Structure formats: structure tokens, C-alpha cells
Amino acid sequence: MIHQNIKVAVDAVVFGYKEKSLHILLIKRNVEPFKNSWALPGGLVLDTESLEEAVIRELKEETNVTVDYLEQLYTFGKPTRDPRNRVVSVTYFALVKPEHHIIIADTDADEVDWFDINDLPDLAFDHSKILDVARTRLRNKLTYEPVGFDLLADKFLFSDLENLYKTILEKDIDRRNFRKKILSFNILEELDEKVSEGRGRPANLFRFNKEQYFKHKKEGFLFDIK
């Protein structure tokens, strides 16, 4: 007869775009193990809730963030990943606009903060590995779906969109070809609002037209950025 003593947890990689850089939402743990270490928000799934309900609850409890976009990422189940028990973690990644959220630490978190993805502290458990998988997923997803919907401000400069792609893809892009291709999809609206950008001439703001995008998608539209 097989005996199991396995607990199920959820962890969330929450991406946000601020200060022209990709950021990750982290909590500082106030309990052992890894007390005072930074970690991804998450915790054990209650007997009465689904996985999605658990990750939404944990995010709200530990960070005060309600997610705009949530997708299941991967399941991590190495027997030694948690020194207390055998814990299998079903992980998710979320995309949010940081300016839409007031972050507040609670329950198992002493602090909560946004960290530049290129300047992260050491993370508890196997959370660095989870983050690596999430970054790869986001990088791949960016080439076939306009995730900027969920990361950029409601109104943005085209240069912000360019920089978002450069940041996530971690490489330079051909600005002229990128602009031409993005505009060819007809999912951006150029507004009669201008913002000064450095010493150059004021530039027009843009916004995404989600209704147009989903209409195109329903008709078999292919969003493809390489």
C-alpha cells in the first residue's frame, strides 16, 4: 500500500512594468524557514478551495494585489524543495500595472515591494528557478500575444512599448520595422495627446484597442512578433 504525506501549495510570479524596467513583486517572510528572506507570494491550498482561488487569496492576503491577468505556469515537486514537508507547488504568473495597486504586507509577509528583475535579492526555497521559468514563458508569450495590454499604462508613448519589448526579450529591436509591424495590426490608437520625451519634440500618446484585438483574434488574426 502506498502512503502519501504531500501538501499542495501555490506560488505567484507577478510581473509589473515601472520606471522603464520589468519588476517582480516579492514578500519578505516573517516565519521559518527562510525567515527574513525575500520570496514569491504564495502558500498552502485550503481543503475547500481551488488552485486559482488559493493563489488569488494568497496574493490578496500577502500583498493586497488583485491580479489583472493570471496563467498557470508549471508544477514544482522536488522532494527537498521545502525543508519542513513534502510540498508540491503549482505556480502561476500574473501581469499587473503597478500604478493600479497599493501593496500592503500581511499574514506571513513582513514587507512587500517591487524589485527590478535585473537587481533581485537571493530568494527563498526554489523561487529563483520558478522565476527563471516564468521569465522564459513571458519572453515566449510576448512574441505571439500583446501582453503590453496588461503591463503598460492605459496611455503610453510608443517608445514605452518598444522599451517593454527590448526589456523582456533582452535584446535590441529594429525600431523602424517594429513600429511598422505593430501599427499594421491596427490594435493601437494614436491619441491627440502629446508628451515631451527628453529634449526631442513632444510625441503622441497611444492606447491599446482591446475590442479591436479580440475581434481580429476571433477572425483568425495572428499576432506575430519575432
User: According to the model, what pLDDT value does residue 62 have?
Assistant: 96
Both 12 and 112 in a single domain?
A: yes
* Total-model pTM: 0.91
CA 82-125-48 angle, 5° bins = 60
Q: What does the DSSP 8-state code read for residue 170?
A: T
pLDDT of res. 198: 67
Domains in the chain, number: 2
* 225 within domain boundaries: no
Q: Supply φ then ψ for residue 160, to 5 degrees.
A: -65, -40
Confidence at residue 226, expressed as pLDDT on a 0 to 100 scale: 63
Q: What is the CATH number of the domain that holds 85?
A: 3.90.79.10
Domain with 209 in it: what CATH number? 1.10.10.10
Same domain, 160 and 124: no
Residue 108 covered by a domain:
yes
Residues 69, 156 within the same domain: no
In a domain, 224, yes or no: no
Q: Do 20 and 95 share a domain, yes or no? A: yes
| Full domain range(s) for residue 164 | 147-218
Please pick, among 111, 170, 189, 193, the residue that the annotation labels catalytic: 111
Helix (H, G, I), strand (E, B) or coil at 157: strand
Verify that 133 and 156 share a domain, yes or no: no
Instruction: Give the Cα separation of 141 and 138 in Å (integer).
Output: 5
168 in the same domain as 56? no
111 is a catalytic site residue? yes
The verdict on residue 67 lying in a domain is: yes
Contact 77, 88 (CB under 8 A): yes
In a domain, 1, yes or no: no
pLDDT averaged per 10 residues, the chain (length 226):
90 94 96 96 96 96 89 96 94 94 92 96 97 95 85 92 91 89 90 81 90 80 68
- Do residue 92 and residue 193 come from a single domain? no
Burial, 102: exposed, middle or buried (Cβ in 10 Å; 0-12, 13-18, 19+)?
Answer: exposed
